[in-house]
């Protein structure tokens, strides 16, 4: 890493004024329009995207995956080598760790997500663990580091995007190296030709454009693990690493929107509210809905999960009793006993804000 | 249309504070990351999207295209009926009429585009003119109205998204009804199962989720033609309808970005600056590049256009003579003699801002 001198916005802003820096991020990266919660698998182009630097353009014929570090047999693999390995396809829900950041007050300055940084892809690839076993992980290995081809400056350091995982997590049987999404080759913006897929973890874990896997005999101290993606209240604090997705439910906002404000309007008829729920800590056990701004709650109908790593569909019949303004909310509970809070604890990076969604609807 | 009472943000804001309403639009709609200017055809998911209301979920088996109004033989067509017609594929560059809006001062309040609201799709469909001829356009016909399945509130009016074209424009031989994009069925967010493609016009013309084509014997007075998409200085003014794309060139920002600010850093070596240029008024004749903030200009190398309706690639060799800050600019000139201005005239909707792009690069 080289040190680059650059003025980086730090800290927070008040809720009413998005800064030019945040806008530059928001017009590039994009959320999933919430009506796409209606799909089991999110269509390509509707799935959320958070890209730290630029989308690299990769020549798949010269591309190689290098496996090195604390291994007895380093490897250099082509895309064809990987494709010849046992292949699995799995629907996995991704959520950006910063989802909900722009709803915090004060608002941490970074990609200003509201609620839409989520999506479910159908990922095709090969399991990582057997590949690491073939490479021969050293006994002293503690972490596995994934290096992407995307390069930029962050925290005043020039760097490739890199994230490490503890060895035990990297060896989980559901961790994939994926070259396919929704039945097609990975699109450039989702990591062509190869990305990591770690079910249950926040999106920053799923390193895109992977070119190198390095087994480490000491913990990685690079930016994305040691400084970024940590739950802490100030920069002097070491904090806790962001890891698994907090429990969350989201609904498709009912009715129709106003263009400029996205305010919803609905008729006074029966509405089937639908949504999805997921958690990185266990299966979803319940989703509750409130139609009175989180004063009272009623259970939603939960459907079976299509895939153990994918969000679970839920529905709720709503017949507004009166014209006027209504506030709809939903909250999920997982098998580990986690339930979404009405307000999420604030942290410096604006991570893991899983406060209940609130949708204002005007019934006419 | 029903009148809905809703508080709509009107007017403008100063350059430093994006409003919550604008943010809600920005996290849904998204621009094309400028590095995607490197592709002849923009990959699905990187093409810009501006969706006025919600993306409708359409059942293609029950969907029909109705052709009605001032025609002698109204039609009701299935997707298979359309697919049985002569099929053409054409690469067409789309740009949102509001591209560049957020760079205006004061800033009109709507989708806060910087420069990224552009993309080139490879569209497959059938020519509209023969279909209208079969339906038998009445002699008194003046416009053709396209109605989408997307529905919302805009300007306090509940409406389906609808836009009309003068008959002579609708009958141009390059106007398509498209069911395919980049070799696949239209993705939901691009108008599945059918959209209009009108080469050379701004993006609002290319109505998505088309379900009805109505030949009119008097001009359409609906919102999107009569109130939205007009060049005017205040709401009392009738203004001039937004139509064809103004001439424009954009470049892939060289070097690597800072995450938070998107500021560019480049080494002091040879850089091949690449970009694209397009115009709705004629072919691109020249692209010039400035490396000193628009003080002096040098010609870029222009490549042949891959398709008459698609952007044209250009390149420019840049070897920074000194470390420090540089401002790169590009400007295009079309066959009609239009050249991009350094500053574009302001208008209430923030439309057609084709001022030259400026990219700040720190050379190290």
Chain A CB contacts of B190 under 8 Å are 45
Using an 8 Å CB-CB cutoff, list chain A residues near B15: 20
Which part of chain A is CATH 3.90.420.10?
17-241
pLDDT at residue A15, rounded to an integer: 57
Q: Residue B349: is its pLDDT beyond 70?
A: yes
Whether A143 has its CB under 8 Å from any CB of chain B: the answer is no
**Residue A177 near residue A137, CB atoms below 8 Å:** no
* Neighbour tally for A90: CB within 10 Å: 19
pLDDT at A241 over 50: yes
Is B113–A27 a contact, with Cβ atoms under 8 angstroms apart? Answer: yes
Listing DSSP states for B165-194 in one string gives EEHHHHTSTT-EEEEEETTEEPPGGGTTT-
Tell me, what's the pLDDT at B305? Answer: 85
Task: Report how far residue B207's alpha carbon sits from residue A118's, in angstroms, rounded to the nearest whole number.
Answer: 27
Low-confidence winner among A345-359, B10-24, B176-190 (lowest mean pLDDT): B10-24
- Banded pLDDT at A17 (limits 50, 70, 90): confident
Distance CA(A97)–CA(A201), nearest Å, equals 9
Q: Which of B6, B8, B261 sits opposite A6 (nearest CB)?
A: B261
CA distance B147 to chain A (A): 17
Lowest-confidence pick of A82-91, B10-19, B184-193 = B10-19
**What does pLDDT average to over chain A?**
95
Best of B26, B39, B96 to mutate (most A CBs within 10 Å, chain A): B26
Residue B259: which of A228, A64, A309, A242 has the closest Cα? A228
Please check whether residue A108 is in contact with residue A8, taking contact to mean a CB–CB distance below 8 angstroms: no
Residue B26 phi, psi dihedral angles, 5° rounding: -65, -30
What CATH class does A17-241 carry? alpha beta
Task: Collapse the DSSP code of A156 into the 3-class scheme (helix H, G, I; strand E, B; otherwise coil) and give the result.
Answer: coil
Only one residue has tokens 């559901």, namely: A174
Mutation to test the A interface, candidates B6, B121, B257, most A Cβ within 10 Å: B257
> What burial class does residue B67 get, using C-beta atoms within 10 Å of its C-beta: 0-12 exposed, 13-18 middle, 19+ buried?
buried
With beta carbons less than 8 A apart as the criterion, state whether A297 and A289 touch: yes
User: Is A362 in the B-facing interface, judged by CB distances under 8 Å?
Assistant: yes
Q: In the CATH scheme, what is the code of domain A248-363?
A: 2.60.40.650
The Cα of A256 is separated from the nearest Cα of chain B by a number of Å equal to: 5
Measured from the Cβ of residue B106, the count of other Cβ atoms closer than 10 Å reads 12
d(CA B265, CA A152): 8
Residue-level pLDDT at B220: 98
Q: Are A199 and A192 in contact (CB under 8 A)?
A: no
A305 confidence band (pLDDT: 50, 70, 90)? confident
Q: Any CB–CB contact under 8 A between B162 and chain A? A: no
Q: What is the mean pLDDT of residues B199-219?
A: 98
Task: Give the span between the Cα atoms of B19 and A342, in whole angstroms.
Answer: 24
Distance from CA of B171 to the nearest CA of A (A): 30
pLDDT in tens, A251-295: 999 999 999 999 999 999 999 999 999 999 999 999 999 999 999
CB proximity B324 to A under 8 Å: no
Would you state the pLDDT for residue A16? 66
Helices (H), chain A: 20-28, 79-83, 128-135, 167-170, 223-226
Burial of residue A275, with CB atoms counted within 10 A of its CB: 0-12 exposed, 13-18 middle, 19 or more buried: buried
Q: Is pLDDT at A163 greater than 60 in this prediction? A: yes
Q: What is the pLDDT of residues A195-214, one digit of tens each?
A: 999 999 999 999 999 999 99
Task: Name the nearest CA neighbour of A32 among A44, A24, A15, A20.
Answer: A44
> Rounded distance, CA B128 to CA B177, Å?
6
Q: Which residues contact A176 (CB under 8 A, 6 or more apart)?
A: A88, A90, A123, A125, A126, A127, A128, A196, A197
In chain A, residues under CATH classification 2.60.40.650 are 248-363
What mean pLDDT is predicted for residues B66-81?
98
Residue B5 has pLDDT above 80, yes or no: no
Distances, alpha carbon B301 to alpha carbons A332, B8, B178, B304, in Å: 57, 46, 33, 10
Give the model's pLDDT for residue A5: 41
The alpha carbon dihedral of B306, B312, B318, B324 has a sign of negative
Residue range(s) in chain B whose domain bears CATH number 3.90.420.10: 12-241
Could you report the per-residue pLDDT of A306-322, keeping only the tens digit for each? 899 999 999 999 999 99
Q: Which residues, other chains included, contact B88 with Cβ-Cβ below 8 Å and sequence gap of 6+?
A: B124, B125, B126, B127, B176
At residue A12 the predicted structure's pLDDT band, cuts being 50, 70 and 90, is low
In this complex, the residue of A21, A57, A109 whose CB is nearest that of residue B38 is A57
Q: Give the neighbor-by-neighbor strand order of the sheet with B264-266.
A: B256-257, B264-266, B357-363, B324-334, B284-290, B298-299
Give A76-129 pLDDT, tens digit per residue.
999 999 999 999 999 999 999 999 999 999 999 999 999 999 999 999 999 999
Predicted confidence (pLDDT) per residue in B103-157, tens digit: 999 999 999 999 999 999 999 999 999 999 999 999 999 999 999 999 999 999 9
Is A46 close to B38, i.e. CB distance below 8 A? no
Distance CA(B276)–CA(B272), nearest Å, equals 13
Those residues with Cβ within 8 angstroms of residue B97's Cβ, 6 or more apart along the chain or in another chain: B202, B203, B204, B229, B242, B349, B351, B352
Q: Is pLDDT at B12 greater than 80 in this prediction? A: no
Record: fold of B12-241? Sulfite Oxidase; Chain A, domain 2 (3.90.420)
**Rounded Cα distance, A354 and A117, in Å:** 12
Interaxial angle between packed helices A20-28 and B20-28, expressed in degrees from 0 to 180 and rounded to the nearest 10: 20
Q: What percent of chain A has pLDDT over 90?
A: 93
The strand pairing partners of A240, in sequence order, are A231
Q: Is B298 a residue whose pLDDT tops 60?
A: yes
- Inter-CA distances, A253 with A34, A95, A326, A358, B165, Å: 7, 19, 12, 9, 33
> Which of the four pLDDT bands, split at 50, 70 and 90, describes residue B4?
very low
Mean pLDDT over residues B235-259, rounded? Answer: 96
DSSP letters for A273-322:
EEEEEE-SSS-EEEEEEESSSSSS-EEPEEPPPSSTTS-EEEEEEE--SS
Could you tell me the CA-to-CA distances from B63 to A177, A182, A295 in Å, in that order? 39, 24, 41
Question: Over chain B, what is the mean pLDDT?
Answer: 95
Under a CB-based contact definition with an 8 Å cutoff, are residues A141 and A55 in contact? no
Contacts with A, B 79-138, CB within 8 Å: 102, 109-110, 112-114, 116
Residue of B nearest to A361 (CA): B6
Cα(B29)–Cα(A140) distance, integer angstroms: 47
> Which of A16, A195, A257 would you mutate first to test chain B, the one with the most B CBs within 10 A?
A257
| List of chain A residues whose C-beta atoms are within 8 Å of the C-beta of residue B31 | 27-28
Structure tokens at A225: 């693990």
Structure tokens at B112: 């806060």
* Model confidence pTM above 0.90: yes
Q: Which residue has the tokens 């295209």?
A: B65
Q: How confident is the model at residue B45 (pLDDT cuts 50, 70, 90)?
A: very high
Kindly provide the ipTM of the predicted complex, given to two decimals: 0.94
Residue B306 pLDDT class (50, 70, 90 cuts): confident
**Please, is B232 exposed, middle or buried when counting C-beta atoms within 10 Å of its C-beta (0-12, 13-18, 19+)?**
middle
Give the pLDDT of residue B177.
98
Residues A258, B158: Cα–Cα separation, whole Å = 8
Task: Please compute the mean of the pLDDT values over residues B10-15 and round it to a whole number.
Answer: 59
Kind plus residue range of the DSSP H or E element containing B25: helix B20-28
Residue B127 near residue B108, CB atoms below 8 Å: no
Q: Is B54 on the interface with A (CB under 8 A)?
A: yes
Chain B residue numbers with beta carbons less than 8 Å from the beta carbon of A24 are 114, 261-262
- CA gap B160, A174 in Å, rounded: 45
């Amino acid at each position: 890493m080289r040190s680059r001198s650059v003025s980086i916005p730090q800290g927070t802003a008040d809720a009413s004024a998005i800064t030019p820096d945040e806008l530059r991020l928001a017009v590039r990266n994009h959320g999933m329009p919430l009506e796409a919660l209606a799909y089991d698998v999110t269509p390509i182009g509707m799935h959320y995207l958070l890209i730290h630097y630029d989308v690299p353009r990769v020549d798949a014929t010269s591309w190689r995956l290098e496996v090195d570090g604390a291994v007895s047999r380093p490897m250099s693999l082509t895309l064809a080598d990987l494709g010849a390995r046992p292949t699995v396809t799995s629907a996995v829900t991704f959520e950006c760790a910063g989802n909900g950041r722009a709803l915090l007050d004060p608002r941490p300055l970074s990609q200003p997500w509201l609620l839409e940084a989520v999506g479910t892809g159908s990922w095709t690839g090969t399991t990582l663990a057997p590949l690491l076993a073939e490479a021969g992980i050293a006994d002293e290995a503690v972490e596995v580091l994934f290096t992407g081809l995307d390069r930029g400056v962050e925290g005043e350091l020039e760097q490739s995007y890199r994230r490490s995982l503890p060895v035990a997590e990297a060896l989980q049987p559901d961790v994939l190296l994926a070259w396919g999404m929704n039945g097609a080759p990975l699109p450039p913006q989702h990591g062509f030709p190869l990305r990591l897929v770690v079910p249950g973890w926040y999106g920053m874990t799923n390193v895109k454009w992977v070119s190198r896997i390095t087994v480490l005999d000491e913990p990685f101290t690079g930016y994305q693990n040691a400084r970024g993606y940590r739950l802490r209240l100030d920069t002097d604090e070491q904090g806790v690493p962001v890891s698994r997705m907090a429990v969350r439910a989201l609904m498709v906002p009912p009715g129709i929107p106003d263009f400029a404000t996205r305010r919803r309007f609905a008729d006074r008829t029966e509405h089937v509210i639908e949504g999805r729920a997921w958690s990185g800590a266990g299966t979803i056990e319940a989703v509750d809905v409130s139609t009175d701004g989180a004063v009272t709650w009623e259970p939603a109908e939960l459907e079976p999960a299509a895939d153990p790593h994918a969000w679970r569909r839920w529905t709720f019949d709503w017949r507004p009793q009166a014209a006027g303004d209504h506030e709809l909310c939903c909250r999920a509970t997982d098998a580990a006993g986690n339930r979404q809070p009405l307000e999420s604890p604030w942290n410096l990076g604006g991570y893991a804000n899983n406060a209940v969604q609130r949708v204002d609807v005007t019934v006419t």
